[in-house]
Structure 1
């Protein structure tokens, strides 16, 4: 009988998945807090999940420990933190009891679109802008209404959830910042964005996250490429000869 040799995973392979676990933990805690009526902390946990979602890729690249397993695990965590958790939060705050089971169907549609968006990204992702609104942005968009303290009418909340879901599975191009590195990013534009973010926080307070994520959502509809705008553009060789 042939024995299967066990393979021990190295730290560089485990570390990124440990960070991804933080993403999943935030999503689960957000669901628990929503269930207990702690809506604002639940919404902030969706934002905290973005930190872990961003860092797991950075850790994987720095350690050279990225794997197919890690990519699949990251997608599963994203479904919970940016699909199910924001959908449930929107349901309990604005859509519970809306037109019978319609409110429940609406948030199920949002979560389903998020899962489809991730599956498509894993299979057909190509370099350049994202095709469709990324699921973290979709989840943050819904959660930011709770942080802002807006009491949305049920029909408005339903329209927002459905529209956001449609944008996730659409082919609308959205700026991709993953290709930016220290050597190819425009520092002046990053400082400008930092100044704008600070101004939003000072002037809008708890509505600042909603304003920021709304700008990103609208930018895709306008075909504005944030990745291209923030990168250092190479000089046209024809211009150098003039």
Structure 2
């Protein structure tokens, strides 16, 4: 029975991700972000519990990736789809029209082509997760940006707009070229051949975990000062620290 506890926590990740998908599709990006963050918490927690209970298994590995595909793959793709839709000023998917411009149309359903680019994040996440499952070299570190970190990056944008409401930041986030650039960089980082730090503490020794402690300190300070706007900066700091980390 104990060995199934981590799998149950993983299913909570999938449950939260599924709820996030529903809200994201309906344009409630802040609520979607909340449930995705909750799912990411369960994603971190299930691995921790599995190690503590010595209940790691092949089933758990596969289930974890399947749950991540929803919470940290599908959700950020849909959120980017919605942000690109906002940037083009067209959120009316159901529209009867005989025009053929930059949209596709089926029986009363019109969809802009540009927002579909956001779903590249979902495709890149799927490839990254599948590759992770067959790669034995990602136990102590990651090759490429982990999908939860990428999800935090994408979901920070609607949170910045909602809670910080800064005209300069809002105009930048809703700039289609900025969103396209973020999408392409996101897809690259997910599958880049770059060794990144895994936030798993085998010991609490500072010398062995200097980069991890530094990242945590930076993250706390930046979050206090910049709130949600700190999340993209934290991801950048995470990548830089990983590149210079020798442990």
Q: Same fold (TM over 0.5)?
A: yes
Q: Residues of 1 paired with 2:212 and 2:120: CA distance?
A: 35
Q: Please state how far the C-alpha of 1:120 moved relative to its aligned partner.
A: 0.9
Q: Is the 8 A contact 2:82 2:115 kept in 1?
A: no
Q: Which runs of 5+ in 1 are unaligned?
A: 1-10, 229-242
SS in structure 1 opposite 2:244? Answer: coil
Q: Residues of 2 paired with 1:145 and 1:192: CA distance?
A: 25
Q: Please state how far the C-alpha of 1:181 moved relative to its aligned partner.
A: 2.4
- Alignment length, in residue pairs? 214
SS in structure 2 opposite 1:64? Answer: coil
Q: Is the 8 A contact 2:145 2:196 kept in 1?
A: yes
Match of 2:231 in 1: 209
Any idea what the Cα deviations from partners look like across 1:11-69, whole Å, max 9, x if unmatched? 12210011001111221111112233321121232222221111111111111222111
Compare CA radii of gyration and give the structure with the larger one: 1
Please say which of residues 100-109 and 85-94 is displaced more in the overlay: 100-109
Match of 1:32 in 2: 22
Please say which of residues 22-31 and 146-155 is displaced more in the overlay: 146-155
Q: Please state how far the C-alpha of 1:210 moved relative to its aligned partner.
A: 2.9
Q: Is the 8 A contact 1:131 1:173 kept in 2?
A: yes
Q: Residues of 2 paired with 1:133 and 1:193: CA distance?
A: 15
Q: Please state how far the C-alpha of 1:77 moved relative to its aligned partner.
A: 0.5
Q: Please state how far the C-alpha of 1:207 moved relative to its aligned partner.
A: 1.4
Q: Is the 8 A contact 2:77 2:119 kept in 1?
A: yes
Q: Residues of 1 paired with 2:58 and 2:213: CA distance?
A: 35
TM, length-normalised to structure 1: 0.78
Please say which of residues 88-97 and 152-161 is displaced more in the overlay: 88-97
Match of 2:244 in 1: 224
Q: Is the 8 A contact 1:133 1:170 kept in 2?
A: yes
Q: Residues of 2 paired with 1:193 and 1:25: CA distance?
A: 29
- Between Structure 1 and Structure 2, the one with more strand by share is 2
Match of 1:132 in 2: 144
Q: Residues of 1 paired with 2:234 and 2:195: CA distance?
A: 18
Relative distance call for 1:97 and 1:156 in structure 2 (3 A) is closer
Relative distance call for 1:185 and 1:219 in structure 2 (3 A) is closer
- Does residue 181 of the first structure (1) align with residue 202 of the second (2)? yes
Q: Residues of 2 paired with 1:61 and 1:76: CA distance?
A: 19
Q: Residues of 2 paired with 1:191 and 1:216: CA distance?
A: 11
Relative distance call for 1:74 and 1:185 in structure 2 (3 A) is farther
Among 82, 87, 102, which residue is 2:77 paired with?
87
Q: Is the 8 A contact 2:118 2:183 kept in 1?
A: yes
Match of 1:142 in 2: 154
Q: Residues of 1 paired with 2:82 and 2:206: CA distance?
A: 41
Match of 1:73 in 2: 63
